[in-house]
Amino acid sequence: MAAIEVRDLTKHYGDTVAVEGLSFTVEPGSVVGFLGPNGAGKTTTLRMLLGLVTPTSGTALIRGRPYRRLSQPGRLIGASLDSGAAHPRRTARNHLRVLGRPLRTPEARIRELLHAVGLEQSADRPVGDFSLGMRQRLALATALLGDPRILVVDEPANGLDPEGIHWLRGLLRGLAAEGRAVLVSSHLLSEMQQTVDRVVVIDQGRLVTEGTIAELGALGRQTVSVQSPQSVRLGELLRAAGEHVLVTGPDTLQLPGGWAQVVGHLAAEHGIPLYELHTSAPTLEEIFFSLTGSRTADEATGAGRHRTSNRRGGG
Q: What is the pLDDT of residues 6-53, one digit of tens each?
A: 999 999 999 999 999 999 999 999 999 999 888 889 999 999 999 999
Q: What is the pLDDT confidence band of residue 123, given thresholds at 50, 70 and 90?
A: very high
Nearest one of 42, 61, 69, 58 to 1, comparing CA atoms: 61
Backbone phi, then psi, for 51, in 5-degree steps?
A: 75, 15
Give the distance from CA 27 to its chain's centroid. 15
State the CB neighbour count (10 A cutoff) for residue 98: 12
Sheet with 57-62, strands from edge to edge, namely 16-26, 4-13, 57-62
Q: Whole-prediction pTM value?
A: 0.77
Give yes or no for residue 216 having a pLDDT over 80. Answer: no
pLDDT at 285: 74
Q: Where are the domains of the chain?
A: 4-217, 223-280
Average pLDDT of span 58-75: 95
Nearest to 23 by CA among 256, 208, 154, 185: 208
Q: If we measure between CA atoms, which residue out of 262, 186, 194, 189 comes closest to residue 226?
A: 262
Handedness of CA 237, 240, 241, 242 (dihedral sign): positive
Per-residue pLDDT band for 275 (boundaries 50, 70, 90) equals: very high
Q: 259 or 5, which is more confident?
A: 5
- Which residue from 87, 82, 99, 79 is spatially nearest to 143, judged by alpha carbons? 79
High-pLDDT (> 90) share of the chain, %: 67
pLDDT at residue 220, as a whole number: 62
CB 172 within 8 A of CB 204: no
Nearest CA-CA partner of 24 in 246, 250, 207:
207
Contact yes or no for 282/220 (Cβ under 8 A): yes
Mean pLDDT across the stretch 62-87? 92
Which residue would you say has higher pLDDT here, 307 or 56? 56
Is 309's pLDDT higher than 60? no
Judge contact between 94 and 114, C-beta under 8 A: no
Q: 185-211, pLDDT tens digit by residue?
A: 987 787 788 899 999 989 899 998 898
**Rg of the chain, C-alpha, whole Å:** 24
Domain 4-217 bears CATH identifier 3.40.50.300: yes
Closest to 186 in 3D by CA, of 301, 266, 24, 16: 301
Q: Which pLDDT band holds residue 305 (cuts at 50, 70, 90)?
A: very low
CATH topology of domain 223-280: Alpha-Beta Plaits (3.30.70)
| Exposure string for 5-19, b = 16+ CB within 10 A, e = fewer | bbeebbbbeeeebbb
Mean pLDDT across the stretch 149-156? 95
User: Mean pLDDT lowest for which of 70-79, 148-157, 299-308?
Assistant: 299-308
List the end-to-end C-alpha distance of the chain, in Å, as a whole number.
28
The region of weakest confidence among 23-27, 228-232, 259-263, 292-296 is 292-296
